[in-house]
Amino acid sequence: MKNILEAPFMVETVRTLTNLYRLGWDERNGGNLSVLLDEDVVAEYLDTGKVIREIPMTFDASSIIGKIFLVTGTGKYFKNVQYDPAYNLGIIKIGKSGKVAELLWGYTDGGRPTSELPAHLLSHITRLAIDPSHRVVMHTHPTNTIAMSLVHSLSERDFTRTLWQMQTESIVVFPEGVAVLPWMVCGTNEIGEATAEKLKEQRLCVWAAHGIYGVGRDLDEAFGLIETVEKAAQLYMLSVNAGIKNGITDSQLKDLAAVFGLNYNKDYLD
Ligand code: 2HA
Ligand code: ZN
């Protein structure tokens, strides 16, 4: 068996979590991440039939039985992952009933997957149905995105339009727009189901006064989506009190969409 700490999926995940911490988005145990792994790849590093222990789940993941995920641990700090990946992360396989996570590696202190496992697994189920190459669900607490959710209309149309108006990149990177959930209790099946529902149409979902979810085919895609929203939100927060005079207009956004061939959400431009 090869050394799992040198597996490209592990190295890239640890680097991503370290970077998210460095950006100031994942204070204390804030944020969580899950990456769907290819069983053939995992088998180079682990016996995928050897279960360390079973962790019960309170929701039905029967449509993804046998799938294997690398998942951040509940209560663990992104800050610390690079120093002890096996303590802070786990690799789980969805067990036969779809109601149990079989631990294959990690959570060495007897830990468990993130409290947001319902949102993660339900979002994976939703995105895999749309895009078989989907792999990553990322949840983080980007400062300006949260700040914007405190002062801005939470209408998805209004929120997306403002993000598009702040910088040229926004509509190019997320032409479908950004979903927004009002404040809800986190860690529940309800917020997980609501998030997964939103991710049918979009790859980004803001949780008001909490953070954001982003999904993608790899870590870069999920991170790049969130990073672009956060940059636009930062521009908004820096300029809103001075009065925004030169935001990108609807006709300019349409020109941009025409040149870049963007399949943007037509309901969001006048
Ligand atoms: O894991 O971010 O949403 C801590 C959180 C919960
Ligand atoms: Zn959170």
Pull the structure tokens for residue 168: 């040229």
The residue-averaged pLDDT of 18-23 equals 98
Domains 1-115 and 116-270 share a fold: yes
Checking phi first, is residue 89 left (phi over 0); if not, alpha (psi -120 to 50) or beta? beta
Hey, where are the domains in the chain? Answer: 1-115, 116-270
- 143 pLDDT band, cuts 50/70/90, is very high
d(CA 36, CA 138): 12
Atom nearest to 75 CA in ligand 1: 1
CA of 186 to the centre of ligand 2 (A): 7
pLDDT tens for 245-264 read 999 999 999 999 999 999 99
CA of 197 to the centre of ligand 1 (A): 19
Q: How many residues are present in the chain?
A: 270
Cβ of 202 below 6 Å from ligand 1: no
Q: What is the CATH number of domain 1-115?
A: 3.40.225.10
pLDDT tens for 114-139 read 999 999 999 999 999 999 999 999 99
CA of 151 to the centre of ligand 2 (A): 19
pLDDT tens for 34-92 read 999 999 999 999 999 999 999 999 999 999 999 999 999 999 999 999 999 999 999 99
What local confidence, expressed as pLDDT, does residue 87 receive?
Answer: 99
Considering only CA atoms, which of 69, 13, 12 is closest in space to residue 42? 69
d(CA 91, CA 113): 9
Query: Which one of the listed residues 6, 39, 102, 116 is annotated catalytic?
Result: 116
219 Cβ neighbours under 8 A, 6+ residues apart: 12, 13, 16, 35, 136, 138
CA distances from 182 to 124, 146, 227 (A): 21, 12, 21
Q: Domain 116-270, what architecture?
A: 3-Layer(aba) Sandwich (3.40)
